[in-house]
Chain A
């Protein structure tokens, strides 16, 4: 599903975010990406959804070369990828429903399809009773669940999460992890960047460890 070959990302001559990364992630895998702050986790994810172009190397997603993609093709790539952020990135001026529907509307889906699918997805994350609220009226955990609903509502092939529980307490984190696991069980490939090792202890999965932009560890749960 995701293949990287010698990928390097340099922001300036003396700052290398990702260095010579070569790895493969299969369809339906659940992978943690760990490492200290500045290890290159975020840059790695951003390159996957074409927000950054690698300085060198090739990235293939679903057999498509992302590094050679034209700007006009970026939207079609992103429709296969759901992204969840630490700071949620919700539209504060819109309701919960609108925030989730947004992702489908952006793909030009019909109105009745949108409303059906949005309701279904919000029910999955347990927020179907909050449809008409604005994000700021909700707790952090609830906001993150909306963000996850927005990422999942399009049935993505890949779900990328960048420190999704960074701002949340332990209980809420477990709820959120449950949502990721369920999405993974339905066949979505999940990449979760975190520096919280307790997650891996609780839900052991493959772990990629980055250090100063290099891949220094690739452990599968059996080896842990």
Chain B
């Protein structure tokens, strides 16, 4: 048994050395296939993450007809905070609003000289809990707001929310479909490459069967070889991915205008990295297995 295992491993390694071109072609094909699928996965994950962050901006701003009296502000804040959908309440007084406007103008702030600081309306800015950052949630808040306050105007980006919801669900479907196609294409290419490598060695398979090698004895070294190639392909794709991630993707994306400055791009987690390498092993083994079935006939 031990003798057999030793033989199988040695045989697999020797085969790879005897056919360096075929072997590296198989490894590289798998590396490219895996890297493509993983890159696509990363893009989807990051776009989703980015999209989730945009919803942080989902808030309802209620502009008030009349600024409330100073002593009433706190009780209003408490009232609004009691809404289950609301996570934070900020009161922006007329003065604060003016101040903000001034600082937003920056160098042009002098334009505001001599203008009444009560020009702008006071407002409540309501942060919405993540689970209510959708149309239904926002609608509920608005309904309640209108019953509670003397509201002049409401801002909550309704159209934007609608589009956002559609975008996220589209992202899921497109991701699934494209990812599925990519995976199929990768499987197809890998199994064909392995078929090619076996085709080049069909004499060897024939002679093995001729001298009375059992199916197991013929197949195991090839499967092992497929697994080793898959492992190497998986590792190469991981290295390639992390290098291109640090030096290309994250740099270019971070300078992309859509990306908030505190946004950290996600790379594969340790588990996902492990899955990537293991799928290389599975890919290599299955690819060999399916091709062997066509070439090994006793």
Chain A residues at the B interface, C-beta cutoff of 8 Å: 49-51, 71-72, 74-79, 81, 83, 89-91, 93-94, 102-103, 105-108, 110-111, 150, 154
Contacts and interface: CB of A to CB of B under 8 A. Distances in A.
Interface in B160-205: 203-204
B212 interface: yes
B218 to A, nearest CB: 8
Contacts of B215: 71-72, 75
A79 B4 CA distance: 18
B115 interface: no
B32 interface: no
B3 interface: yes
Contact of A71 (B203, B210, B298): B298
B212 A78 contact: yes
A72 B19 CA distance: 29
B212 A76 contact: yes
B18 A93 contact: yes
B211 A78 contact: yes
B3 A102 contact: no
Contact of B212 (A51, A79, A93, A94): A79
B210 A91 contact: no
10 contacts: A71-B215, A75-B217, A79-B212, A81-B212, A89-B210, A91-B204, A93-B19, A93-B204, A102-B207, A102-B208
Contact of B7 (A78, A105, A150): A105
A110 B3 contact: yes
A105 B217 CA distance: 9
B207 A75 contact: no
B213 A106 contact: yes
A72 B219 CA distance: 14
A111 B6 CA distance: 10
Interface in B255-298: 298
A147 to B, nearest CB: 10
B15 to A, nearest CB: 9
Interface residues on B, range: 10 to 19
Contacts of A71: 215, 298
A75 B203 contact: no
A162 to B, nearest CB: 12
A62 B298 CA distance: 20
A106 B211 contact: yes
A106 B208 contact: yes
A78 B218 CA distance: 14
Contact of A108 (B3, B204, B207, B210): B3
Interface in B7-36: 7, 18-19
Contact of A91 (B3, B7, B207, B298): B207
A153 B214 CA distance: 18
A100 B274 CA distance: 42
Contacts of A79: 211-212
Contacts of A94: 18
Nearest to A90: B207
Contacts of A78: 209-212
B217 A106 contact: yes
Nearest to B4: A108
Contact of A89 (B18, B207, B214): B207
Given A71-B215, A106-B211, 17 more contacts: A49-B210, A74-B209, A74-B298, A75-B209, A75-B217, A78-B211, A78-B212, A79-B211, A81-B212, A89-B203, A89-B210, A91-B207, A93-B19, A102-B208, A106-B212, A107-B213, A111-B3
B196 to A, nearest CB: 16
Contacts of A90: 207
Nearest to B213: A106
Contacts of B213: 75, 106-107
A154 B211 contact: yes
Contacts of B19: 93
A157 to B, nearest CB: 12
Nearest to B1: A108
Nearest to B217: A106
A105 B4 CA distance: 9
Contacts of B204: 91, 93
A79 B210 CA distance: 9
Contacts of A83: 210
Nearest to B214: A75
A72 B4 CA distance: 19
A99 to B, nearest CB: 9
Given A93-B19, A103-B212, A75 B3 contact: no
A93 B186 CA distance: 30
A75 B210 contact: no
Nearest to B3: A110
